[in-house]
Every structure is written in structure tokens, then in C-alpha cells.
């Protein structure tokens, strides 16, 4: 199989250029209902007064593998082949999103996340399958185990007066521990690049691989 890669905007309009080195990651796109619910959660957390950089929920991705900040364009073909091969062996599956937490712990919250409450096992299998095929290309998985989640915000380093706000944030997080945030049937995995523009970070989809396990080819 040959690949003709086109650099796409989020609206899928082909751009006229592609940088020679890319910041790449492989991810699943969440449904709109999850982005909407994430927006509501972020607004609730924002009212705690904690100093944080909150994400734009419309631009969230469920990351499977981060490939690096400086990946050579020549690696794209091999990455696409690895993605297609891994996805060919797994069928589509259900994912449900929910539960808010912090890392590393509530006493020292640095990152706020929205988790996955159904579909962890097939997500783990997909992550492992991709990792096995990406490793020979030089892309090694993180040493820590894979825990699928969306990052909602990153707290800024504490200053005098911050602890009460952080405590208020943690109280809200604990109240959202059982919140639900939509569900989806995962059928595709996408390769994205990200780049810094004046208006912020832009994401470009370079390739999509379909989950085909158990599906008869037409």
C-alpha cells in the first residue's frame, strides 16, 4: 500500500506546505457531547479561583502515543503503516468518559484530568499494539503505564494566597469524581501534528487508520 500524505487543517483543507520536522501524536477524537460536558466541568473548576491554564475542550484529543517534538517528515510513511497494521487487528469498541481527578495528588494538584470509565481494556490493547509496531521505528513508549485521559488544565506554580484556591479546586474535583461525560464507539485512530501559531496551537490530521478486526473487507 502506498501513502499520499497531505497536511490538513482542522477543516480538512490541504495546506500548501509541510514542515520537515513535526510534533506528532496518535489519538482518538472524542464526540461533541464529551467536549460540551468538559466545557461545563472546566467552567465549574474555573470558578474555584485556582490559577490554571485551562484547555479549549473543542480541541481535546484522547492521546494513545506521543511520538515526539521533532519527528522527521521521512518517518511519516512508517508511522502510517504501523497504525494501519495495529488497527487492522482490533474491532471498533465502546468508550465512556467520566470522573475528574488530579495528579500527582490532591495535596499538590498540578494537572486536572477527565478520565475513561469504560473501554480501558481495548484502549490498553490498542496502545500496546501501536507500541509494538512503533518501537522498531525508534518510538519508545513512556516508562509509566498508559492511563487514558483528557487534560483539562494545568495549575500554575503556587504563590502566596494560592493554597485556599487550590483547596477550593480540589473540593470541586472530589465532587466531580463520579461525573459522566458522554460515550462513543471508537472506529478510527488519527495521526496529528501540532504547531504554534499566533492564535495558539493548531492541530493538523495527517492520517486516519480504521479499526477493522472482525470486519469483513468489502
For residue 181, give the nearest of 149, 215, 136 by alpha carbon: 149
Instruction: Report strand pairing: 111-118 vs 149-155.
Output: antiparallel
Based on the residue annotation, tell me whether 77 is a catalytic residue of this protein.
no
Residues 42, 55: contact at Cβ < 8 Å?
A: yes
C-alpha span between 188 and 87 (Å, rounded): 8
Is 61 a known active-site residue? yes
Q: Which of 61, 65, 77, 207 is catalytic?
A: 61
How far, in Å, CA of 190 to CA of 204, rounded? 10
Q: Please name the helix (run of DSSP H) or strand (run of DSSP E) that holds residue 162, with its range, or none.
A: helix 162-175
Instruction: Please give the Cα distance from 78 to 71 (Å, whole number).
Output: 12
* Annotated active-site residue in 65, 127, 149, 207: 149
- Is the CB of residue 92 less than 8 Å from the CB of residue 185? yes
Nearest to 203 by CA among 67, 7, 30, 66: 7
| Residues with catalytic function | 61, 149
Amino acid at each position: 500500500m502506498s501513502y499520499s500524505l497531505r497536511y490538513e487543517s482542522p477543516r480538512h483543507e490541504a495546506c500548501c506546505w509541510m514542515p520537515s520536522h513535526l510534533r506528532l501524536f496518535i489519538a482518538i477524537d472524542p464526540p461533541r457531547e464529551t467536549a460540551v460536558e468538559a466545557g461545563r466541568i472546566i467552567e465549574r473548576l474555573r470558578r474555584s479561583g485556582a490559577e490554571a491554564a485551562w484547555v479549549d475542550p473543542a480541541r481535546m484529543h484522547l492521546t494513545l502515543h506521543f511520538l515526539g517534538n521533532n519527528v522527521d517528515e521521512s518517518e511519516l510513511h512508517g508511522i502510517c503503516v504501523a497504525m494501519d497494521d495495529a488497527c487492522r487487528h482490533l474491532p471498533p469498541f465502546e468508550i465512556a468518559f467520566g470522573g475528574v481527578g488530579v495528579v500527582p495528588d490532591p495535596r499538590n494538584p498540578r494537572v486536572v484530568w477527565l478520565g475513561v470509565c469504560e473501554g480501558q481494556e481495548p484502549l490498553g490493547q490498542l496502545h500496546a499494539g501501536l507500541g509494538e509496531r512503533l518501537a522498531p521505528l525508534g518510538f519508545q513508549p513512556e516508562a509509566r503505564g498508559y492511563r487514558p485521559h483528557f487534560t483539562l488544565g494545568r495549575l500554575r506554580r503556587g504563590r502566596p494566597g494560592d493554597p485556599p484556591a487550590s483547596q477550593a479546586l480540589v473540593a470541586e474535583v472530589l465532587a466531580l469524581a463520579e461525573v459522566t461525560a458522554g460515550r462513543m464507539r471508537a472506529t478510527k485512530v488519527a495521526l496529528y501534528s501540532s504547531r504554534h501559531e499566533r492564535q495558539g496551537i493548531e492541530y493538523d490530521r495527517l492520517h486516519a487508520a480504521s479499526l477493522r478486526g472482525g470486519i469483513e473487507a468489502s
